[in-house]
Amino acid sequence: MVFSKNVNLRPGEQYAIDAIQQQLLSAILGFGVATLALGLTPSLSMAQSQQQQQQEQ
């Protein structure tokens, strides 16, 4: 948890902070996975086209 537990928060505020952190984390992870997938797609399609060219020759 990023925020210090020493801060006196009401349960609702604590819940809100936890929810915000979870959303941020999932957004960062989702963005990372999407970026990774987009980065891999061109290299995969290039590899497939090279294989097809070799088979045609």
The per-residue pLDDT for range 30-48, each reduced to its tens digit, is: 988 888 888 877 766 666 6
CB 17 within 8 A of CB 3: yes
Residue 25 within a domain: yes
Residue 40 within a domain: yes
This prediction's pTM? 0.47
Residue 5 within a domain: no
Residue 2 within a domain: no
Is residue 54 predicted with pLDDT exceeding 80?
no
pLDDT value, residue 47: 67
If one counts the domains in the chain, the total is 1
Tokens of 19: 């929810």
Average pLDDT over residues 17-27: 92
**Radius of gyration in angstroms for the set of CA atoms belonging to the chain, rounded to a whole number:** 22
Q: Print the domain residue range for 49.
A: 10-57
